[in-house]
Amino acid sequence: MTDLIAELDAWLDDNWDPDLTVAAWWERLGLAGWAAPSLPTNAYGKGVARNEANAISQRLAERGALPAPAGLGMLLAAPTIAVHGTPEQIERYVKPIVTGAQAWCQLFSEPGAGSDLAGLGSRAVQDGEEWVVNGQKVWTSSGHIADMGMLIARTNPESPKHQGITWFAFDMHQPGHVDVRPLREMTGRALFNEVFLTDAHVPDDAVIGGLNNGWAVANTTLAFERSGLGAGAGGATSLANAGTIAGDLPKRAGDFVRAARSPGGGGGGAMVAGSQRLFTEMAKQNGMIHDPTVRQSMMQLYTLGELGRYLTLRIKAEKQAGREIPGAGNLAKLSMSEIVRQSRDLGLRIAGPAGTLHSYTSEGRRALDAATGNPVLGFITEAALFAQAPPIYGGTDQVQRNIIGERVLGLPKEPSNERTTPWSDLPKNG
């Protein structure tokens, strides 16, 4: 690890320049393998373990350099394509992800297919060397700033439902055929969207991992999602947005550095990293630090965070020994759900009555912080409102438990004929 950080330091001495544009800096970082170091070496990475990748991104932040692009391209699309894509597809899709040139979204969930994802009904029909796609996706995080989408669509309705699905690298720039509409959350933000696909096109060579093999490819994506969102995940992320739509690429990289994210974005990983410090400061200021029950809750939270960290180290040690801990990603995600719930409850408790105040705009949150004298109130209330999300996205807590029960503990599955009946003959949700 020390060698890796020394190598990064030397590289930064030669390459970091705050006057570069975001695009130019991310291109250097990505092509050198420092943007997504946990990717394999044949896919613009360095093949390092996740805790090493976290240490690299922390070091970038400590050195005052703009961290690597964030988002679902980095978290999900790039590692999935690195596993299932051809060398040509890795070049075409992974390269613009690690250099931040393109942003991605995940077009998985549908109004009638969330936990039962394999029941999805969006259809892709072959037309020469292309596929024509019709259907609706929902809860599409960052769909409004995405250049590309990880699309799973039904390509053979006559197969059982897990077998007739294909994973496509899908171009979101199709005016009139791809309609992205924002959905507002109770935090006040609109981070996700519904996406309507009407005679949209995707070429044959954008099929990742083989025709009708999309369920296996999607499970790779979901595994990266669980472990990336789980306790123990981390690393500094950039406030500059990847992709052509957000508009940050031509801006000066150095201008985003001071904004390198402190805990405040509402995301689970950020909460683990920073909530302990914030809660302690806040409790010291208002005297609640002397309340033994508050101290006990703080210790519980600290313990959960440490368990998450140890789980990550254990996963790494097993990986190095050529083994895998079955269900580790599911456990990490369940642990994260518990951490955000406990953080929500503890944060609101320490905030006291002011915790009932929330503004839906950044300006309003700043005004409330000033009026209450609590500089982190906006973070606390936003994180509390957002805490409902991590136990849902990436597969709900109940679904994680089902997976552990059925695939890890070998408990009997729910009786069903869905593995043998054509999807077209199954009853549909929604």
How far is CA 374 from each of CA 287, 292, 381, rounded to the nearest angstrom? 13, 22, 12
Smaller CB separation from ligand FAD, 5 or 216? 216
Smallest gap, in angstroms, from Cβ of residue 20 to ligand FAD?
A: 30
Smallest gap, in angstroms, from Cβ of residue 401 to ligand FAD?
A: 8
Q: Which residue is nearest to ligand FAD (CB)?
A: 114
Smaller CB separation from ligand FAD, 244 or 402? 402
Closest-CA residue to 389 (of 189, 111, 241): 189
Smallest gap, in angstroms, from Cβ of residue 218 to ligand FAD?
A: 10
Could you give the 3-state DSSP secondary structure of residue 29? helix
Smallest gap, in angstroms, from Cβ of residue 229 to ligand FAD?
A: 10
Output DSSP code: residue 52. Answer: H
Angle at 146 between CA 44 and CA 198, to 5 degrees: 125
Closest-CA residue to 241 (of 54, 65, 27, 68): 68
Smallest gap, in angstroms, from Cβ of residue 388 to ligand FAD?
A: 7
The DSSP annotation for 250-305 comes to TSBGGGGTTTSPPS-S--HHHHHHHHHHHHHHHHHHHSGGG-HHHHHHHHHHHHHH
Smaller CB separation from ligand FAD, 34 or 108? 108
Judge contact between 253 and 18, C-beta under 8 A.
yes
Smaller CB separation from ligand FAD, 55 or 272? 272
Q: Which residues pair with 179 in a beta bridge?
A: 196
Smallest gap, in angstroms, from Cβ of residue 414 to ligand FAD?
A: 7
Smallest gap, in angstroms, from Cβ of residue 114 to ligand FAD?
A: 2
Angle at 327 between CA 404 and CA 38, to 5 degrees: 150
Output DSSP code: residue 242. Answer: P
Output DSSP code: residue 94. Answer: I
Binding residues (CB under 6 A) for ligand FAD: these are 105-106, 108-109, 114-115, 139-141, 192, 389, 392-393, 395-396, 398-399, 402
Smallest gap, in angstroms, from Cβ of residue 407 to ligand FAD?
A: 13
Smaller CB separation from ligand FAD, 265 or 395? 395
The DSSP annotation for 133-180 comes to EEEEE-S-TTGGG-SEEEEEEES-TTSBTTTSEEEEEEE---TTTEEE
Smallest gap, in angstroms, from Cβ of residue 108 to ligand FAD?
A: 3
Smaller CB separation from ligand FAD, 56 or 151? 151
Smaller CB separation from ligand FAD, 231 or 298? 231
Smaller CB separation from ligand FAD, 122 or 374? 122
How far is CA 45 from each of CA 2, 210, 352, 371, 425, rounded to the nearest angstrom? 18, 24, 46, 47, 44
Smaller CB separation from ligand FAD, 251 or 419? 419
Smallest gap, in angstroms, from Cβ of residue 205 to ligand FAD?
A: 23
The DSSP annotation for 347-396 comes to HHHHHGGGGG---SSHHHHHHHHHHHT-TTHHHHHHHHHHTTSTTTTTS-
Smallest gap, in angstroms, from Cβ of residue 394 to ligand FAD?
A: 6
Residue 316 one-letter amino acid:
K
Q: How far apart are the first and last CA of the chain?
A: 50
Alpha-carbon gap, residue 218 to 150, rounded angstroms: 9
Alpha-carbon gap, residue 242 to 100, rounded angstroms: 5
Quick one: which H or E segment has residue 226? helix 214-229
Judge contact between 246 and 110, C-beta under 8 A.
no
Alpha-carbon gap, residue 153 to 133, rounded angstroms: 8
Smaller CB separation from ligand FAD, 56 or 113? 113
Smaller CB separation from ligand FAD, 337 or 374? 337
